[in-house]
Amino acid sequence: MKGSANPETIPALYLERYAGLCGAVQARAHARTGDAAQIAGYLSNSDSFDQALVEFAFRYAEHNNEDFKEFQQAVEAGRLQAKMIDN
């Protein structure tokens, strides 16, 4: 089943939980289980896959940091409105 909610109408107290649920649902939708022996055979004994994951993680973290800086600049320039929410 497919569903959605308008994040603008979700009280701040529940927004973090909603985001977490969305992430969990998406992760499950994209996850696949496989035969460990087949996966190991596909990846071989080299560490190239491991290194590729590490490189991806660092590039992704850098991209997120750049996005956050851009977000902060937009808030400071008045192009976006943001407010701090106490938990």
Share of the chain above pLDDT 90, in %: 40
Q: How far is residue 63's CA from residue 75's CA, in Å, rounded to a whole number?
A: 18
Q: What is the per-residue pLDDT for 87?
A: 61
Q: Tell me which residue range forms the domain holding 58.
A: 46-82
Share of the chain above pLDDT 70, in %: 97
| pLDDT surpasses 90 at 63 | yes
Report if residue 64 sits inside a domain: yes
Q: What is the per-residue pLDDT for 77?
A: 96
Q: Other CB atoms closer than 10 Å to residue 83's CB: what's the count? A: 6
Which pLDDT tens digit goes with each residue over 4-46? 888 889 888 898 899 999 899 888 887 777 777 877 887 888 8
Report the number of distinct structural domains present in the chain. 1
- The whole-model pTM stands at 0.50
Report if residue 58 sits inside a domain: yes
CB 15 within 8 A of CB 7: yes
Q: What is the per-residue pLDDT for 1?
A: 59
Q: How far is residue 33's CA from residue 36's CA, in Å, rounded to a whole number?
A: 9
Report if residue 50 sits inside a domain: yes
Q: What is the per-residue pLDDT for 26?
A: 86
Report if residue 78 sits inside a domain: yes
